[in-house]
Structure 1
Amino acid sequence: MADRRTFNVVVLGLGFLFIFTAFTTCGNVEQTVVKSLENGTFSGSGYHLGIIYGVFSFSNLLAPTVVTVIGPKFTMFISGLLYGYIAVFIMPITWAFYLTSVLIGVGAATVLWTAQGHFLVENSEASTINRNTGMFWALLQCMLFGNLYIYFEWNGRTEIPSSRRNVFLSLLVTSLIGTLSFLLLRKSRHEEEMLSEEEGQLLLSAQMTILQLLKDRTILLLSPCMAYSLELSFYSGVYGTCIGATTQFGEAAKGLIGISGIVLGIGEILGGLFGLLCKNNRFRRTSVVFLGMVVHFVAFYLIFLNIPDDAPVVFNTTTQKEPYLFAVSIALLCSFLLGLGDSCFNTQLYSILGRVYADQSTPAFAIFKFIQSIFAAVAFFYSGNLLLTWQLLLMVILGFTGTLCFFVVERMQNFSL
């Protein structure tokens, strides 16, 4: 039984690795690609991820019902198919660009992550939730190859080359491989027991449970930490664009987008390994979250110094403003710190939710993604209009508040044991 559960966690991590290798690489470069298009039929924005997360946020409330009816395995498979929206970048058309954003927000992002959280908890116990969360996150974040491909394709180019179609075709195939891997997942014994006469009762109570949990004190306290997904929008869509738009990086600027994604992924992997350390009392969840806050604040300060203030909002391909200092090494260090801090926050949120809501994992993770995606959507919508300084300041305020609230929840859980 333990071997089956471990197998499921590994396959789950690999499936998400392939899907989000494609999705994250696409997110890193799409605004740069869109700004380079000279096509009269296309007038979209590469920050359209705001649409994905906006639709994602409200459709999350229906996700528990979908997962209960279809089951987490086939929910993830069907959702993964919709990540084929990447194909729209092969032949960009404005209406298709936004239509697929809505579809992926409803059908893919929404139920995929809720089903993932449910499946991960179903294949874990109190003694293994930290290990499995860290293992899943480390596998998920091994998405280095897409960004490495971008580096070799675009390094030294001041304009996006015609090979753009080949890049997105490769990403599409990668996404499909990850989706097909979900078919290898095996049912856990607990899931088999749930598929009995109680299934109808579970379906009826799914929406009631999510409404009850929205008023739960622990969920309310964790909300600022979940809302800190402003940093997700920043590292996945804004920071790469800022690097590509910084004139001082010269001809290497476009290729640095790919290297930045690779270094960020290394930070995410390292952060995932901390989940394995939390099984003992020497390195608790609060320590990991505090580390995440510190490394993010250091990254934000260095980005403030190293990137021009108008880099996120310029409508041409580069900014002419001078940063306080500019160094490629600092830009890549910031990528690493952004990845490390993001992984610290996410792994510990998964861990504490899986521990506290082991019997209500599906609605708990649906609420998590609901709150997370609302703030991610807001961030993507203002990213193209707000100067870098103000974006960084917002993340500092929310990051500090979220960390403080996480400490309160962890202390409450320790007292209740």
Structure 2
Amino acid sequence: MAESAATLASSVLSDRISALQESQTIAMAKKARELMAQGIDVINLSFGEPDFQTPEYIRDAAKQALDEGYTKYTPVPGYLDLRQAIADKLQRENQLDYKAENIVVSTGAKQALANAVMSLVNPGDEVIVFAPYWVSYEEMVRLAEGVSVTLLGTLENDYKVTATQLEAAITPRTKLIMYSSPCNPTGSVFTRPELSALAEVVARHPQVHVLADEIYEYINFVGEHVSLAQFDAIKDRVITINGFSKGYAMTGWRVGYLAATREIAAACEKMQSQITSGTCSVAQRAALAALQGGRSSADTMVAAYRRRRDMVLEQVAEIPGFKTPTPSGAFYIFPDVSAYFGQTAPNGVVITTASDLALFLLNDAHVAAVTGEAFGAPNCMRFSTAASDERLHEAFVRIKASLAKLV
């Protein structure tokens, strides 16, 4: 009876949710918390979250918003003054010509991405996803009943997909391209010449749109950030995604946005109206203050991220078998760890995948990282460098010691 009841219960779920994969970053963080609950000192490098506090002036604006009565429902696409401030920012910093009507504010950049995918992709449409990719891209395409076409950049090219690769992958069924720069998980940053070459390919295929994820825009170690929408030939077919979580250390506030043509922005607004409606009122006032306060707080954080990156790369250089390009942005390293595949742990378990290695390091070194399989790069692992210098140093001392146990 119990077995038949379990079978019945499982059949209640939709095919859609059954096919959906759990986020591997969240899954690894969950395992890390379970060990921590047992009193084990786990260094968690699995989450992509700044370890800095939201700047004080932004927190003060949120308190003021409460005192001023910003406690009601908000317009679905966001407060007008915030959308105008975002449009002004895009003009000032990215040379993109948008009005407030082109902006939709969402509950995090993740919702902005999902809105766009659901608004553009029909069942059977092909979506080219540059890999390594952020874990949710392919799952969003799956929810929209699209077909993901993964393009994997090579380690020798800093994991960046080339225009030649893109041209070869486009078919009459291609509807959308998805990528991030600076990239999560690799930290790679597309240069202007590289994006220009990609734009030339897209221009030859008028049915293709591009979802450009720029959430790590401010965490850039090489200077110029280039937006794909800057290229006139395709600007109306680019949806630019950004937000406040990374550059302003506002992950918990959940404020992101997209900029697109009025038609696409209106479609995303309609989608959002039926899912969540408007983003939190207080968080939007805080986001407005963030833009009005400029980039100085972000620049301070970026200096720390650069120092941590360099420190970690020095330690990683001493780990045999880790092949790691130098990240140009974001706060991750993404080494190829395949040299350890086929080796055996002290308990007799053979390491056959990056997932096996991630689990071994969690249990032996008590360091949490995420398998590259979650990002479309099964030979790699992602380590966040958004932690204190002391914890990062200790983490890679532990990792080196644990890897030395493999034979």
Tell whether the structures are fold-level matches, with TM greater than 0.5: no
The TM-score with structure 2 as length reference comes to: 0.26
The TM-score with structure 1 as length reference comes to: 0.26
Rg comparison, structure with higher value: 2
Structure that is richer in strand per residue: 2
